[in-house]
């Protein structure tokens, strides 16, 4: 069974990077898929997938347009890979809904694709809800398959063991790393009280990606959207005393966050106090 169908690719591809984001799990406020779609905008589709075997249409139903009482069009959930050149770098953007089925086979198919086209690095984009304030810069956590892949300014973490239900994104990233392709991931922390899209997180993810790849991308449209959302959030907070109190606590917690060395020393003291 062929899960991945590759079309016409630019020849040659120079040190291509595969940037990946799926909606659903690990995509709070749709921030990572919005970043991927912004990145892919203006690019060209170079690969598609056998969506019929990847999606459960009862849990992720296609959208039906009905015009004047006549069934007009079905829009099916679909995954795709787009190509775009940014700052002289060849980027391949894999994006779409998180698949429901065949994660292992999908990982194999994407791994074969990476080897076929010479992908030199995988970059995951994700977003998670967190106790952070919208009035502060969006924190971004990073992971890497080995030391030395991340910029010194990146916050790697969280430290220690974290056991969580996996997203398809990570279940595919791990075997890619085991193949020897370097992988990194950037995960924006979205204020848990934000109920809709959050462009500020998308902008932050793209800025981290640009710094990591050493390229420039005009994110002005997304930044303008983020500024407008900030104004709406500020107005909503100003009208609700309880929410203002919660926001103040989040800001105070951010101000009092210990440094990495302080946190490590505190963890060591705690562990010493636990004995065996």
pLDDT in 10s for each residue of the chain, 276 residues: 689 999 999 888 989 999 999 998 999 999 999 999 999 999 999 999 999 999 999 999 999 999 999 999 999 999 999 999 998 899 999 999 999 999 999 999 999 999 999 999 999 999 999 999 999 999 999 999 999 999 887 888 778 888 888 999 999 999 999 999 999 999 999 999 888 899 999 999 999 999 999 999 999 999 999 999 999 999 988 888 887 888 888 888 877 654 445 445 554 555 565 554
Is residue 274 assigned to a domain? no
Q: Locate 36 and state its tokens.
A: 């991927």
54 and 3 in contact (C-beta within 8 Å)? yes
**In terms of residue numbers, what domain contains 17?**
4-239
Q: What is the pLDDT of residue 256?
A: 65
Helix (H) or strand (E) holding 203: helix 199-213
DSSP state of 117: H
| 133-162 residues labelled b (16+ CB within 10 A) or e (exposed) | bbeeebbbbbbebeeebbeeebeeeeeeee
Q: Which CATH number is 160's domain given?
A: 3.40.50.10900
Is residue 52 assigned to a domain? yes
**How many CB atoms are located within 10 Å of the residue 263 CB?**
13
Peptide bond into 73 cis (omega under 30): no
Q: How many domains does the chain have?
A: 1
Q: What is the pLDDT of residue 58?
A: 95
Q: What is the pLDDT of residue 263?
A: 44
Is residue 120 assigned to a domain? yes
Is residue 251 assigned to a domain? no
Is residue 55 assigned to a domain? yes
Is residue 159 assigned to a domain? yes
Rounded Cα–Cα distance for residues 136 and 251 (Å): 8
Helix (H) or strand (E) holding 269: helix 260-273
Is residue 273 assigned to a domain? no
Q: What are phi and psi of 92, to 5 degrees?
A: -115, 120
Is residue 266 assigned to a domain? no
Q: What is the dihedral of CA 227, 230, 235, 241, to 10 degrees?
A: -160
Helix (H) or strand (E) holding 32: helix 31-40
Q: What is the pLDDT of residue 3?
A: 93
């Amino acid at each position: 069974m062929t899960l991945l169908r590759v079309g016409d690719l630019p020849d040659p591809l120079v040190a291509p990077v595969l940037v990946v984001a799926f909606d659903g799990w690990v995509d709070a406020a749709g921030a990572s898929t919005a970043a991927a779609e912004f990145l892919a905008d203006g690019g060209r589709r170079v690969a598609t997938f056998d969506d019929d075997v990847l999606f459960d249409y009862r849990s992720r139903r296609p959208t039906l347009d009905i015009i004047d009482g006549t069934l007009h069009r079905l829009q099916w959930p679909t995954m795709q890979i787009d190509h775009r050149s940014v700052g002289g770098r060849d980027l391949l953007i894999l994006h779409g809904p998180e698949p429901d089925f065949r994660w292992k086979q999908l990982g194999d198919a994407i791994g074969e694709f990476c080897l076929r086209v010479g992908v030199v690095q995988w970059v995951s984009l994700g977003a998670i809800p967190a106790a952070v304030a919208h009035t502060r810069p969006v924190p971004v956590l990073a992971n890497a398959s080995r030391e030395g892949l991340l910029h010194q300014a990146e916050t790697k973490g969280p430290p220690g063991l974290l056991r969580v239900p996996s997203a398809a994104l990570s279940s595919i990233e791990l075997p890619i790393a085991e193949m020897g392709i370097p992988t990194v991931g950037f995960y924006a922390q979205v204020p848990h009280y934000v109920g809709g899209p959050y462009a500020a997180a998308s902008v932050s993810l793209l800025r981290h990606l640009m710094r990591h790849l050493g390229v420039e991308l005009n994110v002005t449209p997304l930044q303008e959207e983020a500024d407008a959302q900030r104004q709406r959030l500020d107005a909503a907070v100003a009208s609700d005393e309880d929410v203002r109190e919660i926001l103040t606590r989040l800001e105070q917690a951010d101000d009092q966050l210990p440094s990495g060395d302080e946190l490590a020393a505190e963890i060591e003291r705690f562990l010493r106090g636990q004995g065996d």
